[in-house]
Structure 1
Amino acid sequence: MFRRTFWFSTGVAAGVWATTKVNRKLRQLTPESLAATAANKALETGHRLKDRAVVFALDVRDNMARREAELGEALGIGADPELPAPRRYTAIENNRSNPTYADDTTYSHNRNEDH
């Protein structure tokens, strides 16, 4: 009698355990659950990539400053070099005293100008 009760309760426990596992897996495979899981994975990946990008940018900035200092020492440039004043050049000078135009007319070379 105890033997039958033992196997019966073991079978019931195994059935409850299997049913619970199957129901849990079915809930995980619903479209809403799959979408939520995919969104969470995407957010985690985005955060990891952002953290790596920040670390990379800081490394690049540090190495750039170090290399700039090395080049400054090699070229004998101080930390704060004095830059010359910017030069201004005109692309096309409009010369009114051009002898080819008898009536002293100036012509624009801009193709986008309305004629």
Structure 2
Amino acid sequence: MFRRTFWFTAGAAAGVWATTKVNRKLKQLTPESLAAQAANKAVETGHRLKDFALDVRANMLQREAELGEALGLDAPPPAEAGRELPAPRRGNALGPRTTPGKTTYSISYNRNEDH
């Protein structure tokens, strides 16, 4: 009699456990739950990418500072009195040339100009 009661109780407990497990899994596989899981993963991935980009940026700035120090780019330029920057050059690709009574367009054939 006790054996039958024990096995009946063990079977009932196993059935309740299995039913609970299956119902939880079914709730996880509903479209709403799947959409929420995907959204959470996307947000988590976005945070990881942002952290990665910030790390890359910080390391890039650190390396630029190291290179600038090694090459002496951080040193102030020597003071030269009377030295000014040259005037900007004007090329043919700036647009139409206007002469009195006539407007002509000049075309530049420099392939590297647009890059």
User: Do they fold alike, i.e. is TM over 0.5?
Assistant: yes
2:91 corresponding residue in structure 1? 91
User: Aligned letter for 2:25?
Assistant: K
Q: Tell me which structure has the larger Cα radius of gyration.
A: 1
Work out whether residues 98 and 104 of structure 2, in 8 Å CA contact, stay in contact via their aligned partners in 1: no
Extract structure 1 runs of 4+ deviating beyond 4 A: none
> Structure 1's 78 and 55: CA in aligned 2 closer, same or farther, altered over 3 A?
closer
- Give identity over the alignment, percent: 53
Q: Aligned pair count?
A: 98
Alignment match, 1:107 = 102
2:3 partner letter = R
CA distance in 2, matches of 1:24, 1:58: 44
Instruction: Report what 1:38 is aligned to.
Output: 38
Shift of 1:87: 1.8
Normalised by the size of structure 2, how large is the TM-score?
A: 0.72
Unaligned runs of 5+ in 2: 107-115
SS in 2 for 1:108: strand
Deviation at 1:107, TM superposition (A): 3.0
Q: Distance in 1 between matches of 2:76 and 2:8?
A: 88
Matched with 1:80 is 76
Query: How big is the alpha-carbon RMSD for the aligned residues of Structure 1 and Structure 2?
Result: 2.5
Q: CA deviation at 1:29?
A: 0.5
Task: Name the residue aligned to 1:68.
Answer: 68
More strand by share: 2
Give the superposition deviation at 1:69: 1.6
TM-score, reference length from structure 1: 0.72
CA distance in 1: counterparts of 2:98 and 2:39, whole angstroms: 66
Cα gap change, 1:86/1:5 in structure 2, threshold over 3 Å: closer, same or farther? farther
If asked which structure has higher relative contact order (CA below 8 Å, sep 6+), I would say 2
